[in-house]
Amino acid sequence: MIKRIFKLKNLYTLIAIAGLAYGGYYFGTQNTDTSSNNKTLELTTVAIQKGDLEKKEEYNGTLRQTDKKVLNSPTNGVVTFLPKEGTIINFGEVLFIIDNKPVILLEGSTPFYRTLDLNSDPGTDVKQVEEALVYLGYAQSSFVPDDIFDVETSQMLNTLYIDYGIETKSEITPTEQVLINQKENEIENLEEVVTEGGTTQKEVDNKKKLLDDAKENATKENAAWQAADAEIERIRNLIDELQYESMSETTRAGKEAQYEEDIKVQQRIQNREAGKESGIDATEALAIENAQKAYDEALESYNEGVNREAELEKAREELAELKLSAVSETFSPTNAFASKTSVIVGSYINNVGSAVALNSPLYNISSIGIEVVFQVDASDQETVSLGDSVQIELPTDERVPTVITFIDQVVTQTQAGEFIEVTLEVLNPEEIDAYDQAPVKVFVTTEVSQNVLYVPVNALLALAEGGYALEIYDGQTEGGTFEGESGVDTSYVAVEIGVFTDGFVEVKGNISEGQIVVVPR
């Protein structure tokens, strides 16, 4: 509030000085006889305008670069090239060279983390590489990036590597050929084993049945019990056959009764003989042991054959991968660095000629993104909102647009008072110089008067009795220069003032849009 009052006082002072100077000039020159003296202060004209007028608060801010980090080496070696500090590295340009192997800046939000070739599983990193190849002009117009590394991807990479002096896969290397030959020999041996054949599933099933029979025979009852059991089965069959024989019902009933008595006799024999000689003797135990061994051997032989077939299938897949890898161009994380934006080279940590290890720091970098931070009095925090457009003034006096992207919810207490920090994003950072930690002016709109009349501040005249007036000219002007005589060709109209900003002030009174106002140049 103190700032606003101070600025309003400054406005009134400015108006008073302008008005007094203009008024003193006017009233002091009315008694002179020569027209030459009248032009000591050149007067111009402007039209009263109508529109929206924004009241702005001015703050002190700091412009800084964003996404600062340290760029590390992806490999061991000697640094053979570094760009100059302050250089902007764009997509497709070289970030650094180690052992004469360049690392290229590519656009992307996913860090490159794995080696890619024709054997690689689909992934977003594959699509990111293909999109970069399209951006750099290595793809045909019909090519559509996807997440599959195919032959066309390999060919595009090969062309890029040739252009950048990166080692390419022009032919199968001796080492790769040795591996291929070894895998082919392994497959040949496995095929021979599988072709010779082995135990079948049917043979395993037969061995299992023999084992089950041996166990069952060893636990059967003695011969007398088994004979009685067989006789019972025979008699029951005779009972079933009675229904098909031609005889009277009386005769059939008599035979059935006799058969039932015969069954009871055999059942008494079973009851008497049950449990006798039903234990497993030495001969039966040996038979079971031999049947078990035969079954186990058959099963092992069968499983071994299955395993050999699985090994053969796996070996064939590995051979196919070796052959693909041998003819595929390979993308390595050591070839490129992914970034969302171009980067600015900061201070060196290692210099050209330095021997570096994996992950050794090379130099500081930041993105070309630019942001501004400034503080707002905690009591005025309602004047700023996320997404608001805000203008800043650079050290070059150029004004550029920004937008509020962050408002700290934590109040910072200082000796000067309580403040909240606000962050602005510069909308077109590529169009301005890459300042860092530069002081800037921030203009926040705090009030908007819509569809009002306004004029330049220096068009106001301070009246002796208080208030302000405009000098209205009803004639025609050429080139904006006033050639008439003040007080004769013009009239003074009292006005009230409202919002002021950027050298303009809202005016109210018996005036209208388009009227010509006299102002000192």
Q: Is the pLDDT of residue 29 over 60?
A: no
Q: Are residues 230 and 280 in the same domain?
A: yes
Q: Are residues 139 and 226 in the same domain?
A: no
Residue-number span of the structural domain to which 133 is assigned: 119-168
- How many structural domains are present in the chain? 3
Strand partners, 62: 373, 439
Give buried/exposed letters for 50-62 (b at 16+ CB in 10 A, else e): eeebbbbbebebb
Contacts of 481-487 with CB under 8 Å at 24 or more apart are: 481/42, 481/43, 481/44, 481/45, 482/43, 482/44, 482/45, 482/518, 485/38, 486/26, 486/43, 486/518, 487/26, 487/30
Q: Are residues 395 and 509 in the same domain?
A: yes
pLDDT of residue 78: 97
**Mean pLDDT confidence for 357-374:** 91
- Domain contains 386: yes
For residues 404 and 385, the answer to whether their CB atoms sit within 8 Å is yes
Per residue, the 3-state secondary structure of 171-205, as one string, reads CCCHHHHHHHHHHHHHHHHHHHHHHCCCCCHHHHH
Spatial separation of the C-alpha atoms in residues 243 and 347, rounded to whole Å:
112
Q: Are residues 388 and 493 in the same domain?
A: yes
- Domain contains 488: yes
- Domain contains 80: no
Q: Are residues 37 and 123 in the same domain?
A: no
Q: Which helix (H) or strand (E) holds 284?
A: helix 282-327
For residues 437 and 62, the answer to whether their CB atoms sit within 8 Å is yes
Give buried/exposed letters for 358-394 (b at 16+ CB in 10 A, else e): eebebbbbbbbbbbbbbbbbeebbeebeeeeebbbbb
> What letter represents residue 352's amino acid?
V
- Domain contains 87: no
Lowest mean pLDDT among 18-27, 62-71, 446-455: 18-27
Q: Is the pLDDT of residue 15 over 60?
A: no
For residues 507 and 15, the answer to whether their CB atoms sit within 8 Å is no
Q: Are residues 296 and 431 in the same domain?
A: no
Spatial separation of the C-alpha atoms in residues 310 and 204, rounded to whole Å:
20
How confident is the model over 396-434, as pLDDT tens digits? Answer: 888 889 999 999 988 988 888 899 999 998 888 877 765
pLDDT of residue 199: 63
389 against 102, higher pLDDT: 102
Question: Which of left, alpha, beta for 503 (phi over 0: left; psi -120 to 50: alpha)?
Answer: left
Domain's final residue, options 281, 309, 337: 309
pLDDT of residue 3: 31
**Mean pLDDT confidence for 113-121:** 90
Mapped onto helix, strand or coil, the DSSP state of residue 32 is coil
pLDDT of residue 175: 76
Q: How far is residue 186 from each of residues 147, 173, 318, measured CA to CA in Å? A: 33, 20, 11
Spatial separation of the C-alpha atoms in residues 346 and 333, rounded to whole Å:
23
**Mean pLDDT confidence for 350-371:** 92
Domain's final residue, options 309, 343, 358: 309
- Domain contains 340: no
**Mean pLDDT confidence for 331-347:** 92
Q: Are residues 40 and 132 in the same domain?
A: no
Spatial separation of the C-alpha atoms in residues 259 and 233, rounded to whole Å:
11
Q: Are residues 373 and 515 in the same domain?
A: yes
pLDDT band for position 71 (cuts 50, 70, 90): very high
**Mean pLDDT confidence for 305-325:** 76
For residues 331 and 114, the answer to whether their CB atoms sit within 8 Å is no
Query: Closest Cα partner for 402 from 427, 376, 378?
Result: 427
Domain's final residue, options 153, 168, 183: 168
Q: Is the pLDDT of residue 161 over 90?
A: yes
For residues 22 and 461, the answer to whether their CB atoms sit within 8 Å is yes
Q: Is the pLDDT of residue 12 over 60?
A: no
Sign of CA dihedral 108, 110, 112, 116: negative
pLDDT of residue 39: 42
Q: Are residues 158 and 229 in the same domain?
A: no
Q: Is the pLDDT of residue 125 over 60?
A: yes
For residues 345 and 83, the answer to whether their CB atoms sit within 8 Å is yes
Q: Are residues 376 and 494 in the same domain?
A: yes
Mapped onto helix, strand or coil, the DSSP state of residue 233 is helix
For residues 46 and 517, the answer to whether their CB atoms sit within 8 Å is yes
Q: Which residues contact 73 (CB under 8 A, 6 or more apart)?
A: 79, 96, 98, 356, 357, 358, 359, 360, 361, 362
How confident is the model over 441-492, as pLDDT tens digits? Answer: 999 888 788 888 999 998 999 988 889 999 998 877 766 778 778 878 888 9
- Give me the chain's average pLDDT, please: 82
pLDDT of residue 1: 29
What are the E-state strand segments in 292-369?
336-339, 343-348, 355-356, 361-367
- Domain contains 434: yes
Q: Is the pLDDT of residue 146 over 90?
A: yes
How confident is the model over 34-55, as pLDDT tens digits? Answer: 444 444 457 888 888 998 888 8
Mapped onto helix, strand or coil, the DSSP state of residue 391 is strand
- Domain contains 102: no
Q: Which two tokens stand for residue 224?
A: 């007398």
- Domain contains 329: no
Q: Are residues 32 and 159 in the same domain?
A: no
Q: Are residues 278 and 402 in the same domain?
A: no
**Mean pLDDT confidence for 225-247:** 86
